[in-house]
Amino acid sequence: MKGYTPEVAIATEPLFEKIKHLIPAVEWPIIAPLIYKINELKVEKNAVILAHNYQTPDIYHCVADFVGDSLQLAIQAQETEADIIVQAGVYFMAETSKLLSPEKTILIPSLEAGCSLAASINGENVRQLKRKYPGVPVVTYVNTSAEVKAEADICCTSANAIAVVEGLGVERVIMLPDEFLSKNVANLTDVEIIAWRGRCEVHEKFTANELREYRVTSPGVSILAHPECSPEVLEEADFAGSTSSLIRYVNDNRPDKVMMVTECSMSDNVSAEIGPEVEFIRPCNLCPHMKAITLENIAESLELLRYEVTIPEEISVRARRSVQEMINLGVEGRDFEKGEFKDVVIEDEVSLNSMDIPLQKSFS
Ligand code: 13P
Ligand code: SF4
């Protein structure tokens, strides 16, 4: 790899300008050669990097070709003409890209990049739920494994969750696996929701009390929350929506002071774009899975073509249908307005195993 040569310094100068207030100047000569190398490798291998809004600013602003929320990245994976996609995000996002672009090589730079929601449920749990609630359609959040998506009728993301649930035109749905997202959707629709006890380990940490304290210490702050937070947190926030909706809100409204109640890197990424006009108050909760992706392992991933994401054919055919159903629905994103608190049935392994659920009929 080249060192911090004049050629590297000149080529990377515009990138440094974007993030110079976010990283110490002494670090730039160390990371600039890596950024330069990744951008060269992308051209050489006909690869693109899809980065989620939670990636660190060096990845988001300096090597990513496309950035966005889960829905935008899924659509982008389908549209790109590159041969290789490096997913700077977590494993379920890489699997979703593979489902939508089976002919492309999909790489995830670290196998540590999981997700507490995806880990909360497996295919057998969904089959049990379907036996307990026969005929009730299953909507699964995109933050799930391909195995779980294969058991579902349709996927959703936080950008389109309300519209997907309502778009099914039924009175009751099973919505998996995020307890809080499901409750937040239930509060805004007449469709009855049966939820699963899964939580995002980052968003469950925020509390409504903490937000009220910020309102005292930072008067006038606009509080924006992701719908993976509890209904009490959303009730206290001024606005709630997917990661991209939160970014759009800041761009459109330019509040003097804003607090994004979500993973910390988002504030860094938006502030690098918007400049000092908006002051960011940062209640910092990091996602360890998102942070498993680094410039170093992105470079290794491109060089060694690792770690390739593969999905067994019998799962991918069914899981693709669930993701494609969501994209075909083409629903407009809907933000989370204030709702009315509703009771939601929450299932988990204990409740399923304590029930006598009839076994699936055998025709042998
Ligand atoms: P978005 O779909 O809003 O980007 O959220 C994905 C995620 O993992 C949030 O924790
Ligand atoms: Fe999963 Fe939460 Fe991390 Fe998003 S922030 S990837 S939901 S653990």
283 band by pLDDT with thresholds 50, 70 and 90: confident
Per-residue pLDDT averaged across 205-224, rounded?
97
**Chain segment 102-115, per-residue pLDDT in tens:** 999 999 999 999 99
Closest CA to 86 of 321, 305, 353: 305
Q: Which CATH architecture has domain 6-115+290-304?
A: 3-Layer(aba) Sandwich (3.40)
Can you give the residue ranges of every domain in the chain? 6-115+290-304
Chain center to CA of 309? 18
pLDDT of residue 355: 72
> Which residue CA neighbors atom 3 of ligand 2 most closely?
287
Asked whether the predicted pLDDT for residue 331 surpasses 80, the reply is: no
pLDDT of residue 330: 77
pLDDT of residue 306: 97
Helices 243-253 and 265-274, interaxial angle, to 10°? 30
Asked whether the predicted pLDDT for residue 43 surpasses 60, the reply is: yes
CA 289 – ligand 2 centroid, Å = 7
Asked whether the predicted pLDDT for residue 5 surpasses 90, the reply is: yes
Q: Kindly compute the dihedral angle of the four CA atoms of residues 155, 159, 163, 164, in this order, to the nearest 10 degrees.
A: 0
Per-residue pLDDT averaged across 51-59, rounded?
97
pLDDT of residue 364: 36
13 band by pLDDT with thresholds 50, 70 and 90: very high
- Which H helix or E strand runs over 183? helix 179-186
68 by DSSP, 3-state: which? strand
Per-residue pLDDT averaged across 231-236, rounded?
97
Torsion over CA: 246, 247, 251, 255 (sign) = positive
Q: How far apart are CA 3 and CA 334, in angstroms?
A: 47
> Which residue CA neighbors atom 6 of ligand 1 most closely?
70
pLDDT of residue 362: 44
358 band by pLDDT with thresholds 50, 70 and 90: low
In the chain, which ranges are E strands?
A: 47-52, 66-68, 84-88, 105-107, 138-141, 154-156, 172-176, 192-196, 222-225, 239-240, 257-261, 279-281, 345-347
* Contact between 348 and 177 (Cβ < 8 Å): no
357 band by pLDDT with thresholds 50, 70 and 90: low
Residues 6+ apart with CB under 8 A from 328: none
Q: Given ligand 2 and candidates 71, 143, 261, 291, which is best to mutate, with the most ligand atoms within 8 Å of its CB?
A: 143
Name the token pair of 282. 């940062």
CA 227 – ligand 2 centroid, Å = 12
pLDDT averaged over every residue in the chain: 94
Asked whether the predicted pLDDT for residue 360 surpasses 60, the reply is: no
Residue of 333 and 144 predicted with greater confidence = 144
Q: How far apart are CA 86 and CA 109, in angstroms?
A: 7
pLDDT of residue 337: 85
284 band by pLDDT with thresholds 50, 70 and 90: confident
Ligand 1 surroundings by CB, under 6 angstroms:
53, 69-70, 143, 157-158, 200, 226, 228, 242-243
Asked whether the predicted pLDDT for residue 356 surpasses 80, the reply is: no
pLDDT of residue 354: 83
189 by DSSP, 3-state: which? coil
Closest CA to 287 of 94, 72, 52: 52
> Which residue CA neighbors atom 2 of ligand 2 most closely?
200
Asked whether the predicted pLDDT for residue 273 surpasses 50, the reply is: yes
Per-residue pLDDT averaged across 34-50, rounded?
98
